[in-house]
Structure 1
Amino acid sequence: KYILMQDILKNQMFLGEIDSKIASIFVLNQEYDEEYNNMNWQYKDMSFFIIHRLCVNPKFQNQRIGTKTMLLIEELLRSEGIETIRLDAFSLNPFALKMYEKLGYTKVGEVNWRKGLF
């Protein structure tokens, strides 16, 4: 709860709506834990934002909402001149991992955080 409240207070949590219902949420910022420094980032010297906590409302799953959300984020960041997107994904979420792979994202490492391996 605390982390989500901080995301909201910092204006870093965003949501996508369909018919006035929350379809997806995500956090977009440049904040990261020190473990990020140990990753083998492909584009180390480029401007970047990080996507955290991308979630799709279960009522809207299997409708490509995650993919559509990612494409909108990519378009937004590109229009702002951001060159690279970094993200973290729970290793036990095969749907998210497959989606990111299909979108062209590459795994650069693993970190063991409170919920497990990311």
Structure 2
Amino acid sequence: MIKRAIISDLNDLLAITKCCAKHMIDKKIYQWNELYPSKEVLQNDIELQQLWKLEVDDKIIGLIVLTDIEDAEYKDIKWLTKNDQNLYIHRLAVHPEFQGKGYAQKLMSFAENYAKQHKFISIRLDTFSQNKRNQKFYKQQNYKQLGSIYFPKQSEYPFYCFEKIVNV
């Protein structure tokens, strides 16, 4: 079940992102680290009511942020659609023990249904250039790779931006 996260979920959500960060680092993918995503970032997501949790058997195993707020880093990207009615995905995570079982796909399907229901024109996101698995995943979902952005506090490597049109 996917539902909006609440403040009492914060520690469980943070634990998932920390496990995912360690899992990626173990695979030499330096996308997340001890600074990101922080407890403060997740708390802000909850307060803005843009963080959703995936529960299985009453246990939180995944999360996704859905927002209409465009990050400043995205300003120079040549998107497929104009900057109006776009949904942005951030911090998609599934606990490593549950990866490879279709849960990330469930979260992405939820995001696409949410976008359609709320009349968003497209969904935009970014993923780390060194995370080939994520790039393949988004391309399989028919997201188009468009340009690169940088988050110097996270990595010297770029993050690739993707977009998918969901309502015309």
Task: Give TM-score scaled by structure 1 length.
Answer: 0.91
Q: Does 1:44 align with 2:82?
A: yes
Structure 1 gaps of 5+ residues are: none
Q: Does 1:95 align with 2:133?
A: yes
Cα deviation 1:33-72 (Å, max 9, x = unaligned): 2221100101115521100110111111011211121011
Secondary structure of the residue aligned to 1:25 is strand
Structure 2 gaps of 5+ residues are: 1-37, 160-168
Measured in 1, the distance between the counterparts of 2:139 and 2:84 equals: 21
Measured in 2, the distance between the counterparts of 1:4 and 1:32 equals: 17
Measured in 2, the distance between the counterparts of 1:76 and 1:112 equals: 28
Question: After TM superposition, where is structure 1 displaced by more than 3 Å over at least 4 residues in a row?
Answer: none
RMSD of aligned C-alpha atoms? 1.4
Counterpart contact for 1:48–1:84, Cα < 8 Å: yes
Code of the residue aligned with 2:147 in structure 1: it is: G
Aligned residues: 118
Counterpart contact for 1:40–1:108, Cα < 8 Å: yes
Counterpart contact for 2:68–2:85, Cα < 8 Å: no
Code of the residue aligned with 1:115 in structure 2: it is: Q
The equivalent of 1:25 in structure 2 is 63
Structure-2 change in CA distance of 1:39 and 1:47 (3 Å):
same
Deviates more, 1:87-96 or 1:77-86: 87-96
Q: Does 1:81 align with 2:119?
A: yes
CA displacement at 1:77 relative to structure 2: 1.4
Secondary structure of the residue aligned to 2:137 is helix
The equivalent of 1:68 in structure 2 is 106
